């Protein structure tokens, strides 16, 4: 148990803030193209954030939650998963979905709520999900997804499906009852689940110091009889190593792991938030110097793998692809209002059919008013 306490208190780190390897025994020695895929994943999240914040301020989409500053935690953990694994995200894991095959076009249709949205325009913007890539929709009710992830993990084990379930949450979710239920249940029944907590220091306007009196968040795992690991969330290599180990441990029957990724939310909680009202700008600037993308770029430079032209071309391609997806989504009409009655019952009951017929009659009458 003392060893568990140490791993939950110490910070796992591979790269220092200059991108230099400080723990050679932990460096994963990944293929060059894998490293560039990781770099592309982080750049993609940053480009999406910049564009979507602009679109929301222009009134073209209704809501967005950026992940700026947390890209290494998102991409590093996402890369540790296999295609058959399931993801139960929180607000900022679009980068994980994209790594798994969710497309920029699907994302654009979801944010605009178009006819071609695979969710049929029925979910809030930024609440994307896609069964094809085993990415479940998150809920605005904080922490709901955590016990659900444990349930899916246990169900998979019962039917002999060798999957691991990744449950993402923020530091604020650790103050919810759902967190306790999920952690206790997962530990007792040794569910093949990994809890990945992005401790970005702020649960909207509440600092992490008001969330817990524990020395770290990871140390909470010890009380449940579960391994807890604290990792530098701005160090992509450390995040990947820690998460990969936890995923393989879960897959081979070793039970759950709780990971605390120590990172920082550079921007607002969402487009509905003004962090300048509760956060010291000097704190933000201190963390800006720890930018995870810049740290990883320095690592590539240190390894002799960085190419300025390749990065420039990569960013331009991401911007072009995103712009094309946005233009297509904006030119796509919304779902037909008649679809309101679909997918409620396998066989619609009489009262629902009557409501649908009445609504369709109203639409026909309205059309005659507008075009006599």
Question: How many angstroms separate the CA atoms of 165 and 276, rounded?
Answer: 36
**Please, are residues 165 and 256 in contact by the beta-carbon 8 Å criterion?**
no
Annotated catalytic residue within 92, 157, 245, 269: 269
Active site residue 298: no
Which of 51, 157, 265, 297 is flagged as catalytic?
A: 265
Produce one character per residue of 30-43: b if its CB has 16 or more CB atoms within 10 Å, e if not.
Answer: beeeebbebbbbbb
Largest CA distance in the chain: 80
Tell me the C-alpha distance between 232 and 43, whole Å. 19
**Distance of alpha carbon 253 from alpha carbon 139, whole angstroms:** 29
Active-site residue among 6, 57, 210, 278? 278
C-alpha to C-alpha distances, 133 to 37, 85, 97, 197, 348, nearest whole angstrom: 18, 9, 7, 21, 30
Q: Rounded to an integer, what distance in angstroms lies between the CA atom of residue 125 and that of residue 111?
A: 5
Burial of 253 from C-beta contacts in 10 A (0-12 / 13-18 / 19+):
exposed
d(CA 48, CA 95): 9
- Our answer to whether residue 102 is catalytic in this structure is no
Report the alpha-carbon distance of residue 16 to residue 194 in Å, rounded: 25
CA-based nearest residue to 76, from 56, 104, 50, 95: 95
Tell me if residue 269 is catalytic.
yes
Among candidates 282, 196, 292, which has minimal Cα distance to 243? 196
Active site residues: 265, 269, 278
């Amino acid at each position: 148990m003392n060893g568990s306490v140490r791993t939950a208190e110490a910070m796992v780190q591979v790269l220092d803030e200059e991108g230099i390897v400080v723990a050679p025994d932990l460096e994963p020695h990944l293929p060059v193209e894998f490293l560039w895929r990781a770099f592309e994943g982080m750049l993609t999240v940053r480009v999406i954030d910049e564009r979507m914040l602009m679109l929301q301020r222009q009134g073209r989409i209704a809501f967005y939650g950026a992940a700026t500053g947390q890209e290494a935690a998102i991409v590093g953990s996402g890369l540790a998963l296999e295609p058959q694994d399931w993801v139960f995200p929180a607000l900022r894991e679009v980068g994980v979905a994209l790594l798994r095959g969710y497309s920029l076009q699907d994302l654009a249709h979801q944010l605009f709520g178009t006819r071609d949205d695979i969710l049929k325009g029925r979910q809030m913007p930024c609440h994307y999900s896609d069964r094809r890539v085993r990415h479940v929709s998150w809920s605005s009710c904080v922490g709901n997804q955590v016990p659900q992830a444990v349930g899916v993990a246990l169900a998979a084990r019962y039917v002999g499906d060798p999957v691991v379930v990744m449950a993402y949450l923020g530091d604020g979710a650790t103050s919810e009852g759902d967190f306790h239920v999920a952690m206790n249940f997962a530990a007792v029944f040794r569910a093949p689940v990994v809890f990945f907590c992005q401790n970005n220091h702020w649960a909207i306007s509440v600092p992490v110091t008001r969330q817990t009196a524990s020395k770290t968040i990871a140390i909470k795992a010890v009380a449940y009889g579960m391994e807890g690991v604290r990792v530098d969330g701005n160090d992509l290599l450390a995040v990947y190593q820690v998460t990969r180990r936890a995923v393989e441990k879960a897959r081979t029957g070793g039970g759950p792991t709780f990971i605390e990724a120590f990172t920082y939310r550079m921007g607002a909680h969402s487009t509905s938030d003004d962090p300048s009202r509760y956060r010291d700008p000097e704190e933000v600037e201190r963390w800006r110097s720890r930018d995870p993308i810049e740290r990883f770029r320095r690592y590539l430079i240190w390894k002799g793998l960085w190419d300025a032209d390749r990065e420039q071309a990569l960013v331009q391609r991401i911007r072009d692809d995103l712009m094309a997806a946005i233009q297509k989504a904006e030119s796509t009409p919304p779902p037909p209002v008649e679809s309101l009655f679909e997918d409620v019952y396998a066989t619609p009951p009489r009262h629902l059919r009557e409501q649908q017929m009445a609504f369709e009659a109203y639409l026909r009458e309205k059309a005659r008013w507008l075009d006599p």
